[in-house]
Each structure stands twice: as C-alpha cells, then as structure tokens.
Chains A and B, each alone.
Chain A
Amino acid sequence: MCGAFISPADALPRPETFTLKNGLEVLVIPDRRAPVVTHMVWYRVGAADEQRGKSGLAHFLEHLMFKGTSKLAVGEFSRTVARNGGVDNAFTSYDYTAYFERVGRDRLELVMSMEADRMRGLRLEDPKTVLSERDVITEERRQRTDNNPAARLGERMNAMLHPHHPYGTPIIGWMHEINGLTPQDAIEWYRTWYAPNNATLIVAGDIDAAALKPLAEKYYGKLKPTKDLPKRDWVQNPPADTPQRVSLTDPKVRQPSIVRTYLAESYHTAKKNKITRGAEALDVLGEILGGSETSRLYRALVEDKKLAVNAYARADTSGLGGGAFSVGGTPADGVSLETLEAAIDSVIADFIKTGPTDAELTRAKANLAASATYAVDDQEQLANIFGASLASGETIDDVVNWENEIMLVTREDVLAAAERTLDLGKSVTGTLLPAQGAPAGGGAAP
C-alpha cells in the first residue's frame, strides 16, 4: 500500500527568475486560475541583525515603512492599496523582513511603484508619528506576550537556549528597549539595510516573467544599490553542555504544562555543517515522535498510559542561524509534571533504542511530501515558502527538490538526527505552573 501514495517528483513549481542590474533578485510563480497577484519584497535583514540594546528595531522599522515617503503621506500606502481593492501587510522574523500586497492583476503596477518607492524613499519627518507607532508596538507586545503566560515562558526559554546568539532576544524586543528606540535608530537601520541588492522580489499569480520583467526594470531598476552592505555575522552561543530549567508561575495558569526545547540544525546549518538530510530527518522525526494523534508521544502518554491530555513534538528547521526541536505536553488530572516528564523521556529513550518502524517512516515522509502538493493550491503560500526559504539561506533548487529529499530520508538518518538533537545538555525545560492557592489539577506543585 505504501508506495501507491507517494507524490510525483517536484510538486512545487520552479519559479522563473532573473536579476536586475542593481542586484534585485526576482522570482515569478505563475498561477493563472484567478486574476490576482501576490507581490512581495523580502529584505535579508531581521531581528537577529540588531545591535545589543536596540531590540525590536527591525520590527519597529517594519511598522514605520507605512509612514510615508516623498510621494506618499502617512498611512497613504495602505489606504491606496485598499482603495484599489487590495490588502497589504508586512512581517518580521529573526532572519528577514517582508512586505506584501495582494491585488487584482490590473493593479500590479500600482503596488510595484509604491513598494519600489519605499525601498529607498522612506521619510520619517514627524517624530510624533514615530513615537505614536512605538506605543502601538508596546500594545502589540502586551497583546502577544505580556498577557500570555505561555508566551512569557517561551521568551525566557529562548533567552536561556541562546545565551549569546541574537535568537535569544525576542523579535518584538524587550519592553524597556522598545521604549528607548528613536526615530534616528529607525532611519539608520533603514539606510543600512533597505536596498535592491539586499532584497528579493516575488510575484505569484496571474503573470509570467516575460510580462513582469519590463515592469520590474521600470519601477525597481532605477533604485541605487547599497555599496557597503554589512555582513550578517552573528555572535555564536558557547557550546551547550548543561541542562537548563525554568518555571513560570502565573495566576492565570489553571493547568500546569511542560515544554522542552533542544537546539537543533536548520536546513541552512545542516548544509553548512555537511550533515546530509539533517534537517529533513528532523522534520520526519518531529512527525513520528509527536506530529499527530498517532505519533509515539501521543499514543504512549495520552492513549496508553493516560498521563497526559496532550503531547507533541515539533521541529523548527527554518532558521538561518539554526533550528530548534520541542517536545511537550499537558498532564491529565492528578498526574505530576515530574511523572509526565519522566514518561516523555522514556518515549524518547525507547525511540532512540528501537528507531522508527517502516510504517511510521513511510507515513511521515509521504505526509510531509504531500504538503508540497497542497501548497500549490495557494499562491500566497507558495510565495511565502520561496521567500522565507531564500531569506533563510536556501536555494531555489533546495526548495523544489525538498520533497524528493524528504522521500530519501532513511531510518538511519532519523536515528542520527534524534541522537544528535535529543541531548538534555542542549536543552531548556520549561514548566508553566498555577499560582499558589489557585485552583489547579492535582499533583503538580513542586
């Protein structure tokens, strides 16, 4: 039965590509089903490039990119997109900052002209506008992080997992540093990093390269590249050799939970470190260990031993500076976190001893590979996959060949990935606990 469901090679389309004289890399992903395009610009700069003391600056600038140029007034960018029946937004990660518009095919030129305009022409002349946007970001931080005990625990765990590497600093920034960011900081950041030779333009949807190229030349071709683009050279963590633990107690926590995160390879670092299919194997490992209700952890802890109401594993293999692998769960009533943690460890130890079954391996690989076919249904998702992968150090070949590489992952690859990664010395274990006196599931308090 197994072989019957394996996807054909190369479900993901190979984008058409060209590069402008000023260094702007362009990808075109045709999808002619609807008269719609997704237009994105990805800058190879993110939160990991911030100086110490300036946390949150990459994301702050992302917000300020909507605050006007010599041609557009404050807020006019988004209003113009909306007036033309489009939607726009932007996002910031450790590795990249991206801006996008989704519009009808007949409005593509308009958004190209505006996006090109703000690549070099941002004006931040009114400090009041800048400071008011900083207040918006402090509200965003409260909404995402400070209001949410699990997010606060995650922030602490990240800081411990990366005691020196910039991935230990939250993308949104620490509150006290957000409050110190200035308009001048933002302008300097923009001048340093925002240039055609540090960006990739991706257009997906109702267009092809022949039609796009003259438009790209017209709007982006005239922009000057930056000569002194800094190297992205991040400080590294010292070798991790000590298990770390952290507990967060909050009156809003009603049920304790545990999560452990290990440092792991990403697609980029595995290639750099010459570990063949190292990241692919981690993705497969995540599926088998805890990616579904038929995974090892879920079956053992939730179904068989009834120690947990939830158990999972997850590989994050996307970072330019490395990845992470997490396992975790929520104990059932009356089960202590110590008992649950010991049971998680025993599932991991058992897996490393016996390895995946043929059925587990086949199923996990085929499911990951099929996700490529499903992604082809969504032009925005395709644009995101190529944009994020390229900004995280992968090539177009890497992306297009991904499902073939997944299908080549062997039992030995998965075991090697598990042994290399699931090392307590390279992990942080976090527990989320109810405040003293709060009603909670029994047996949890240490």
Chain B
Amino acid sequence: MIRALFIAAALAFAPASALAQPAATAQQTRGVPVQNVTSPGGISAWLVSDKTVPIIEFRAYWKGGSASDPAGKEGLTGFMADMLTEGAGDLNDEAFKNRIQDLNMSLGFGGGADGIGMSIKTLSKNRDAAFEMARLALASPRFDAAPLERMKRQAAIGIRQRETNAGYIGGVAMNAAVIPGHPYARTTSLASVNSITRADMIARMKTGMARSNLQVVAVGDIDAATLGVLLDKTFASLPANAAPFTVPDANPKPGPALIVKTLPQPQSVVSFVAPGIRYEDPDWIPLAVANYILGGGGFSSRLMDEVREKRGLVYGINTNTAVSDHVAYVRGGAQIANKNVKDAIEVIKAEMKRLRDQGPTDAEVADAKTYLTGSFPLSLDSNSSIAGVLQSYQTTGRGIDYVNTRNALIERVTKADVVRVTQRLFDPEKFVFVVVGQPDGLAATN
C-alpha cells in the first residue's frame, strides 16, 4: 500500500516544477544544527545528528564528472558509477543486489557532468552492514562483463528512444546554439558507449574518486564518533589524491535566436535560456528574488499570471537559475499547444521586457522575500530533504553555516538590487528560444 500509493494516478492543480521550490536558501527558525565532523583518519563530513526517526541518510560526492570523459568515451563516468552497484568482492551483481535488498537499504552511485555522487539510505539498526556494502563497492568493484554488456544493450535502446524525446532534442539544440564545442554539449553515442572497457572504468575510478576530492553529508540516527569510524572504514580504499583535470569555463552565446525542431505532437515544448551568474556573484541573492517575481514563484509569478491565469495558454510555465561548475544560465520553459506557440513566446518576451523596463513593485519584492525566507523550513523537515539541501550547498562551495545565514542575505535585498539584476539578466533579446513540436507559423530550423 505504501509503495502502491504513489503509483496511483492523481492529477495536480499545478505542475510540480512550478510550485514547491523553496529556492535554494535561508534559515530555519530553530536553525539546523550542522556539525563539522573529522574522522580519526582525517575525512571530514557535515553531520546533522537526530535520533527521532531510526534511519540514516548519507551522501558523498567526488568533484569531477562526465565533462572530463575522454573524447570518444562519452558515457564513461556514468557507466563506471552505475557499475559500482553491479557486483563487488565475492558478490556478483545478483548476489550484491540481493544483499542490498536483504538489508532493506538503498545504495546508489551516479555520474553527473561535474561530479560523482553516492547515496546510502538505511535503517539505523542495519547501519554497519549497510556501510559495509558501500565499502565493498568502493574497495573491490568487480566491473564484470555480464552487467557491462547488459548496460550497453540498455544504453543502445535509450540512445534510439531519445531521438523522439522533446526534452532531449531541445537540450541538444540549445547546447549546440549556446555552448557549441564545450564538453557540456557532448552526448553519448552508440560508438562511445560500446568502446567503454573494464580497464577504462578502473582507471576512471582510480583517478577520479579519492579522498582529496571527497565531500560528505550525513543526517539522522548517527552520532559524530560513530560516523568518524564509519568514514574511515568506508573510504579506506580510496587513494589520497585525485588526478587533476581541466574543464574550460563555457562562455554562453546570448540570443536573440529562435530554433525550431519538428516533432509530431500536438503540443510544443518551449525552453528559453540566457547567460546567468554564479553563486559568488553579489547579484546572486537578488537574482533569486527577481526570478521569483518573473517566473519562479508559481502562481505568484508574472509569467504564470499572464500566460496561464489570464490567457489559459499553458498548464505550467516557470523560470529558474541553473549553475554548474563551468556555466551559469537563467532559463525557463513551458509546454504550449502548437497553434499558440508564436503568441505565447511574444507574451513571455513582453512580460520580461515590462519587468525590465518598469521594475517590480514594492509589494512584489516584499512578497518574494517573504516566500523565499518563510518557505525554507519546508525543505528542511525530513532527514532526506536536509541531506539534499546540505549536499547542494557543500558541493557548490557554500559554507557549513550557510543553511543558517542565508535568510538574512535575502532579507537585505532591496528593490534597487532587484532592478539592477533584472536589467542585467532579463533582457528578452539575450534569450535563445528552442521550440520542439509542430508550432504554427514557425518554420523548422537546421
């Protein structure tokens, strides 16, 4: 029943992406008691110890991801990470997965563009056995031929299926227009995936998963001393230092541009992107407020009001900020009936221009600040959500106290700050629009 419940079909009033995204910041009224724990062997971690619920959420991250995969081996980091749960030590893939199930735990590794992540979720009574599985995966992964071949078969089908996936088509088109030639714009191919060998994965792991580039968060039913011991055990096999790698910063090309890709479906998927700013930029916090006003704030945003509420053109429309290690964007998206795409894009641009030319109202700035600060505790009400928020701060260079100081930064934002950042970043002519579908009156581009 508990699992089946969330399979049961239910339609929501608002798309999940448009609401419920208490932006990346602020402080909980009671504060989040984050400790910096250093193990006897010198591995450090952020810990929130809370025994209320008998579970532990654990996250690790190694900087350096698929952006540094060798040319022709696109997919290597992702394959290596996935293969870490396909057998280790004496346990082949089936035995390893059965053991994970017997422990009622989850253990996952994933390769992203900028880094490799690991997550453990376990009942605290199975703690030591659960961390032993992670240790085994890191110390003696098997990289067996059978699961590797299976993953290649699966990847081949996925590569074919993505040809008609609007999100994929749009993403590739957008990257080709905005960051041509950058490692972030690369995709896997049948040839690149099929070229991945056991030796490649072993080398990738050895050079990329070390103690020097490791960051850790633990939340839940575990204390600092116990965590210290487990950190040393779990990561004992890792080399001290990761091999250096370089990924160039991308310098995204601004619009204006409109790219149209044909896909036979009644509704077009529209995305729009312009150069953004990074966390270190003094305008970063004001941008959170400005984004909320334009399109980040669900039903309180101007775009939702104009495009959905007043005109009924979309089910959802939103804007957000996207920052990776080497590029930053402001971007947005919506799905629009083919006959309305052209008009809707004009409305989006006009609203952006109106905000830029006339600025926000005092009330809009105040409301945005109230939401961004007041909603932050909602994203800190469970062990798993706290772990996620802390890891996002830790891996992007924000300090251990950030979770407890960010609300004050938002409180300090003035209307002048918002006007400045709006004029800097919300120029409709700087956006590249990508449309995937069969939009009326817009010809396909090459």
Contact = CB atoms under 8 A, between A and B. Distances in A.
B3 A374 contact: no
B50 A293 contact: no
Interface in B357-401: 367, 370-371, 373-378, 380-385
Contacts of A310: 154
B408 interface: no
A59 B263 CA distance: 29
Interface string A303-326: 100100110001111110001000
Given A87-B22, A441-B157, A135 B374 contact: no
B313 interface: yes
Interface residues of A, number: 111
Given A140-B11, A374-B55, A33 B50 contact: yes
Interface residues of B, number: 86
A433 interface: no
A333 B153 contact: yes
A36 B13 contact: no
B208 to A, nearest CB: 25
Interface string B329-372: 00000011100000000000000000000000000000100110
B42 interface: no
Contact of B97 (A131, A147, A292, A384): A292
Nearest to B12: A91
Given A91-B11, A92-B11, A139-B336, A302 B150 contact: yes
A255 interface: yes
A171 interface: yes
Contact of A366 (B102, B312, B336, B376): B102
B157 A318 contact: no
Contact of A33 (B3, B52, B93): B52
B101 to A, nearest CB: 5
Contact of A371 (B2, B98, B263): B2
A63 B160 CA distance: 38
Interface stretch (B179-187, B281-289, B296-304): B296-304
Interface in A78-108: 78-79, 82-94, 98, 102-104, 107
Interface centre among A2, A138, A254, A302 (most CB of B within 10 A): A254
A81 B312 CA distance: 22
Contacts of B156: 333
Interface in A246-297: 250-255, 267, 279, 283, 292-294
29 contacts: A1-B102, A33-B381, A33-B382, A79-B367, A82-B371, A84-B370, A85-B370, A85-B378, A86-B375, A98-B10, A135-B311, A135-B313, A139-B337, A142-B337, A147-B166, A205-B381, A253-B164, A255-B157, A293-B97, A299-B94, A309-B153, A309-B157, A319-B8, A333-B157, A370-B104, A373-B54, A373-B123, A380-B381, A389-B5
Interface of A: 1-2, 5, 7, 31-36, 59, 62-63, 65-66, 74-75, 78-79, 82-94, 98, 102-104, 107, 131-140, 142-144, 146-147, 171-172, 205, 250-255, 267, 279, 283, 292-294, 299, 302-303, 306, 309-310, 314-319, 323, 330, 332-333, 359, 362-363, 366-380, 384-385, 388-389, 394, 399, 402, 439-441
Given A89-B12, A104-B378, A314-B7, 7 more contacts: A34-B30, A91-B10, A309-B150, A309-B153, A318-B5, A377-B382, A378-B384
